[in-house]
C-alpha cells in the first residue's frame, strides 16, 4: 500500500497536475503510517554510530533528530512527516520519494543532497543550505527564508518523463532573501511564490513559471530569463530591463 502511495506522490509532481493539493488533502496524516516512528532517536543514533547509513522506507514520523550528522545517509521513501531536523547535516543524503510534509529543517545542511519526487509541502527550512543539491520535489507552501540554493539543480528532468515533467515545485513557497547563485531553475514552478529580496544572480530561469509571484527587490544580475512567465508578478520598475526576454512582462505589476 505504501509503495502505491509513493507512486501516487511522484505523479503529483507532473507538469499538468492541478489536483496535487487536493490529493494530499485526502491523506490522513493522523493515521499511524504518517504519525508514528519505528525508531527512537537513541536507536537511530546508535545505528549511525555503528556505521548504518540505510534508513530507506523507515517510518520516522515526528522524530526529533535535530543536530545529528546524517551525511550520506539513505532515506529513500522514508516517512518523516513532521520530523524535527533543525540543524541536521544531510550533505550528500538521498531523500528521493521521502515524505517530509511539515518537517522542520531550519538551518539544516543538505549540500549535494538528492531529492527526487520528495514531498516537502509546508516544510520549514529557514536558512537551510541546499548548495549543489538536485531537487525535483514538491515544496509547495514551504518556508525557505534565507535558504541557499547556490549551484543547485531544480530544473525539469527532460530525460525521465514517464510520470510527467518532474521539476521542483515552489508554488506559494516563502523564499524571501533566498539565494540562487548559478542555480538551474529551468521550467521550475514558482507561481505565487513570496520571493521578495531573493537573489537569482546568474541563475537560469528559462521557461520557469513565476506568475503571480512577489519578486520585489529581487536581484537578477546575469540571470537567464528567456520565456520566464511573469504574468501578474510584482516587480521593481528597475528590473524590467533585465527581464526583457521574459514572457508576459507587460502584465507584471509594479509595487
**Residues 73 and 56 sit within 8 Å (Cβ to Cβ):** no
Question: How does residue 254 score in pLDDT terms, banded at 50, 70 and 90?
Answer: confident
Q: Using the predicted structure, report yes or no on whether residue 127 has a pLDDT greater than 70.
A: yes
Q: What is the mean pLDDT of residues 174-200?
A: 98
Comparing CA positions, the residue from 204, 189, 73, 88 lying closest to residue 151 is: 204
Lowest average pLDDT, out of 13-17, 44-48, 119-123, 245-249, goes to: 13-17
Q: Using the predicted structure, report yes or no on whether residue 2 has a pLDDT greater than 80.
A: no
Cell of 217: 527587490
Q: What is the mean pLDDT of residues 128-146?
A: 97
Measure the N-to-C terminal CA separation of the chain; round to a whole number of Å: 49
- The pLDDT score that the predictor gives to residue 30 is 79
**Residues 93 and 112 sit within 8 Å (Cβ to Cβ):** no
pTM for this predicted structure: 0.88
Question: How does residue 41 score in pLDDT terms, banded at 50, 70 and 90?
Answer: very high
Q: For residue range 72-113, what is the model confidence (pLDDT) as tens digits? A: 999 999 999 999 999 999 999 999 999 999 999 999 999 999
Q: Using the predicted structure, report yes or no on whether residue 122 has a pLDDT greater than 80.
A: yes
Q: Using the predicted structure, report yes or no on whether residue 124 has a pLDDT greater than 70.
A: yes
Delineate the domains of the chain, giving CATH numbers in brackets. Answer: 1-255 (2.160.20.80)
Q: What is the mean pLDDT of residues 147-162?
A: 84
Comparing CA positions, the residue from 122, 111, 95 lying closest to residue 29 is: 122
The CA-based diameter of the chain, rounded to the nearest angstrom, is: 59
Burial (Cβ within 10 Å: 0-12, 13-18, ≥19) of residue 227: middle
Half-sphere exposure of 85 (CA within 13 A, CB side): 29
Distance of CA 154 to the CA centre of its chain: 8
Question: How does residue 146 score in pLDDT terms, banded at 50, 70 and 90?
Answer: very high
Q: Using the predicted structure, report yes or no on whether residue 231 has a pLDDT greater than 60.
A: yes
Burial pattern 91-127, b for ≥16 Cβ within 10 A else e, equals: bbbbbbbbbbbbbbbbbbbbbbbbbbbbbbbbbbbbb
Question: How does residue 164 score in pLDDT terms, banded at 50, 70 and 90?
Answer: low
- The pLDDT score that the predictor gives to residue 25 is 63
- The pLDDT score that the predictor gives to residue 255 is 79
Q: For residue range 3-18, what is the model confidence (pLDDT) as tens digits? A: 445 444 444 444 334 4
- The pLDDT score that the predictor gives to residue 157 is 78
Strands (E), the chain: 114-119, 134-138
Q: Using the predicted structure, report yes or no on whether residue 31 has a pLDDT greater than 90.
A: no
d(CA 29, CA 35): 6
Amino acid at each position: 500500500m505504501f509503495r502505491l502511495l509513493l507512486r501516487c506522490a511522484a505523479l503529483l509532481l507532473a507538469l499538468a497536475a492541478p489536483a496535487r493539493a487536493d490529493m494530499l488533502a485526502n491523506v490522513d496524516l493522523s493515521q499511524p503510517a504518517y504519525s508514528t516512528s519505528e525508531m527512537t532517536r537513541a536507536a537511530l543514533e546508535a545505528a549511525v554510530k555503528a556505521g548504518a547509513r540505510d534508513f530507506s522506507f523507515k517510518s520516522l514520523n515526528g522524530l526529533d533528530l535535530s543536530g545529528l550528522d546524517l551525511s550520506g545517509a539513505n532515506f529513500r521513501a522514508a516517512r518523516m512527516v513532521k520530523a524535527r531536523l533543525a540543524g541536521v547535516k544531510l550533505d550528500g543524503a538521498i531523500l528521493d520519494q521521502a515524505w517530509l510534509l511539515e518537517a522542520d529543517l531550519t538551518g539544516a545542511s543538505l549540500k549535494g543532497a538528492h531529492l527526487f519526487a520528495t514531498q516537502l509541502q509546508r516544510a520549514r527550512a529557514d536558512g537551510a543550505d541546499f548548495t549543489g543539491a538536485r531537487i525535483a520535489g514538491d515544496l509547495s507552501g514551504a518556508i525557505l527564508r534565507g535558504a541557499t540554493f547556490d549551484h543547485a539543480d531544480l530544473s525539469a528532468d527532460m530525460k525521465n518523463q514517464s510520470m510527467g515533467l518532474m521539476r521542483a515545485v515552489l508554488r506559494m513557497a516563502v523564499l524571501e532573501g533566498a539565494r540562487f547563485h548559478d542555480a538551474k531553475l529551468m521550467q521550475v514552478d514558482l507561481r505565487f511564490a513570496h520571493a521578495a529580496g531573493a537573489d537569482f544572480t546568474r541563475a537560469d530561469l528559462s521557461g520557469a513559471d513565476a506568475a503571480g509571484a512577489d519578486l520585489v527587490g529581487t536581484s537578477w544580475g546575469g540571470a537567464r530569463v528567456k520565456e520566464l512567465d511573469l504574468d501578474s508578478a510584482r516587480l521593481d520598475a528597475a528590473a524590467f530591463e533585465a527581464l526583457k526576454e521574459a514572457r508576459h512582462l507587460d502584465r507584471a505589476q509594479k509595487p
